[in-house]
Amino acid sequence: MLANNLANASTSGYKTDREAYGLYAASEAVADSFAATMPVVEREWTDFSPGTVRPTGNPLDLAIDGAGFFGVNAPGGTLYTRNGAFQLLADGSLATADGYAVRGTGGAAIKLDPTRPFEVLPDGSVKQNGQTAGKIELVDFAVTSALFKQRGTYFRAGAAPQAASSARVGQGKLENSNVGAAESAVRLISVLRQFEMLQKAISLGSEMDRHAVEDVARVGS
């Protein structure tokens, strides 16, 4: 998990994963009211806090200010993302870097003339040649636990979306990943060192067992 967070520290719109802990006690100690307990990772959860927004000057780059997601038409159904690094396909459809068409109001793709400039308004309306070419669908969810991370920056919804009333779109901007690279690196090093310590302890335990068996056999002879 930490390694994946670090690998996506520079991925636009990426949301960091974190772990949730519970307490574990050995079954042999359940009857002991003073039994020691230790933390155990029970599940992962996604931190949806916003990343910083950086200007790019690319009109195809869009960033969401506020709570909300872009909807895209993927082969397996609708996916949601905060990564607004879009492109224009050969047919003029506004799409993600993976070629998934960005959903307009009602789910239809938004098509533009690649040879002409266009403007995206804060409410998601797309204008070209003085005409409205469509309106980008901006959605939100009552609880973020209804979203399940797919690969990269995509999420699949386990509940119906609702309109993102507070979301505003900024053109020529991208939202950075919210991964704390320094924090993740320090935690990853700490985990690796703990693993090495446990590995060494197991090795020492095996060595002690071997010596015990050899010494007992020598005394018996």
39 or 118, higher pLDDT: 118
Of 145, 146, 142, 150, nearest to 158 (Cα)?
Answer: 146
Contact 53, 124 (CB under 8 A): no
Distance CA 11, CA 5 (A): 10
Lowest mean pLDDT among 55-59, 104-108, 185-189: 185-189
Length of the chain, in residues: 221
Contact 112, 133 (CB under 8 A): yes
Q: Give the per-residue pLDDT at 36.
A: 59
Mean predicted lDDT score pLDDT of the chain? 88
Of 106, 163, 169, 168, nearest to 140 (Cα)?
Answer: 163
* Residue 86 vs residues 96, 177, 212: alpha-carbon distances, Å: 5, 16, 66
Number of Cβ within 10 Å of residue 141's Cβ equals: 21
115 or 44, higher pLDDT: 115
Q: Give the per-residue pLDDT at 217.
A: 60
Q: Give the per-residue pLDDT at 213.
A: 75
Number of Cβ within 10 Å of residue 68's Cβ equals: 24
- Structure tokens given for 115: 């040879």
Question: pLDDT category, 35, cuts 50, 70, 90?
Answer: low
Domain ranges of the chain: 1-179
Q: Give the per-residue pLDDT at 201.
A: 82
Distance CA 216, CA 201 (A): 22
Of 78, 155, 88, 84, nearest to 118 (Cα)?
Answer: 88
Give per-residue pLDDT as tens, 62-94: 999 999 999 999 999 999 999 999 999 999 999
* Residue 179 vs residues 7, 32, 97: alpha-carbon distances, Å: 10, 41, 21
Question: Residue 198 pLDDT > 70, yes or no?
Answer: yes
Coil vs helix vs strand at 197? helix
**Average pLDDT, stretch 23-45?**
65
Q: Give the per-residue pLDDT at 27.
A: 65
* Biggest distance spanned by C-alpha atoms of the chain: 99
